[in-house]
């Protein structure tokens, strides 16, 4: 029994090493779009932070979603954030599943290039819209009389540039049209729908996206228009980006050009063949 466990552990380790080597090479080839997408997440946070200084609290606008849905209340607002965290973490873990599982359809680096392209395009549109018209925030901490409704004028440029992302997500005001939570949710669900393999999970993911929309409204974190605009804008943006970007290679059909791990001169052709099988997700039996 101990020998069997050791052999399986060794096989898993070699699989992880092979996958890491391949993904590192893909990151080296695509580092510019990956880095640009990551940097823009900071720029988007900076824009959301800036609009909070311009926010002017006022009466909550009449909203169909607020009228139709029961209000969760301030003490239950965490439910919406909990579901969003679950969707976010589940998607991130799925993008790294090729490092562990046998069946591999995607390349982690390439899928994140595509996801970041979706996010950046949507976030650019979002920044333009919420700076164009300033709406009074419907969230509880954005109401008149709340200390968090308006930020005091910045005392230095550093105060403007340093962002507390957690505080901005939970206590931001003014960055309304359209919902950032729904951008991430729809991008993640849509990406899994296209590149995932489990039909039941795809259907469950879309159901979670709908529930997330309703929870955002019931928590009064956004107006209905913020959620509705996100639904059609994100899907349209993703549709046009898919038309412009080359389709991702389906690795389940086998490898073509991706690099191998370096092997010593003493290794024979069988080692090379085993390495190919590890990368393509085919199990390798090691004889005694």
**Which residues are designated catalytic?**
181, 222, 226
Cα separation values, 235 from 40, 50, 112, 184, Å: 20, 27, 17, 12
CB 215 within 8 A of CB 83: yes
Kindly report the three-state secondary structure assignment for every residue of the chain.
CHHHHHHHHHHHHHHHHHHHHHHHHHHHHCHHHHHHHHHHHHHHHHHHHHHHHHCCCCCCCCCHHHHHCCCCCHHHCHHHHHHHHHHHHHHHHHHCHHHCCCCCCCCHHHHHHHHHHHHHHHHHHHHHHHHHCCCCCCCHHHCCCCCCCCCCCCCCHHHHHCCCHHHHHHHCCCCCCCCHHHHHHHHHHHHHHHHCCCHHHHHHHHHHHHHHHHHHHHCCCCCHHHHHHHHHHHHHHHHHHHHHCCCCCCHHHCCCCCCCCCCCCCCCHHHHHHHHHHHHCCCCCCCC
CB 246 within 8 A of CB 240: no
Token pair of 265, please? 């001169």
Query: Would you call the peptide bond into 178 cis, given omega within 30 degrees of 0 as the criterion?
Result: yes
Rounded CA separation 31/42 (Å): 17
């Amino acid at each position: 029994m101990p020998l069997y466990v050791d052999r399986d552990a060794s096989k898993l380790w070699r699989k992880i090493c092979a996958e890491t080597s391949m993904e590192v090479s893909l990151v080296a080839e695509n580092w510019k779009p990956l880095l640009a997408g990551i940097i823009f997440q900071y720029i988007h946070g900076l824009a959301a932070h800036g609009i909070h200084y311009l926010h002017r609290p006022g009466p909550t606008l009449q909203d169909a979603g607020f009228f139709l849905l029961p209000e969760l209340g301030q003490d239950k607002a965490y439910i919406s954030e909990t579901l969003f965290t679950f969707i976010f973490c589940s998607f991130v873990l799925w993008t790294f599943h090729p490092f562990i599982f046998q069946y591999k359809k995607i390349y982690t680096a390439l899928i994140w290039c595509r996801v970041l392209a979706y996010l950046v395009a949507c976030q650019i549109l979002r920044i333009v819209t919420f700076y164009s018209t300033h709406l009074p925030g419907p969230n509880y901490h954005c109401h008149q009389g709340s200390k968090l409704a308006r930020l005091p004028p910045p005392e230095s440029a550093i105060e403007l540039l340093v962002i507390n992302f957690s505080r901005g997500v939970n206590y931001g005001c003014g960055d309304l049209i359209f919902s950032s939570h729904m951008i991430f949710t729809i991008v993640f669900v849509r990406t899994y729908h296209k590149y995932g393999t489990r039909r039941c999970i795809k259907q469950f993911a879309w159901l979670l996206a709908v529930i997330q929309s309703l929870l955002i409204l019931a928590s009064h974190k956004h107006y209905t228009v913020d959620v509705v605009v996100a639904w059609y804008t994100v899907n349209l943006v993703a549709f046009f980006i898919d038309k412009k970007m080359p389709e991702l290679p389906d690795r389940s059909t086998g490898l073509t050009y991706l690099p191998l791990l370096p092997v010593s001169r003493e290794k024979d052709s069988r080692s090379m063949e085993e390495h190919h099988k590890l990368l393509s997700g085919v199990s390798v039996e090691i004889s005694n």
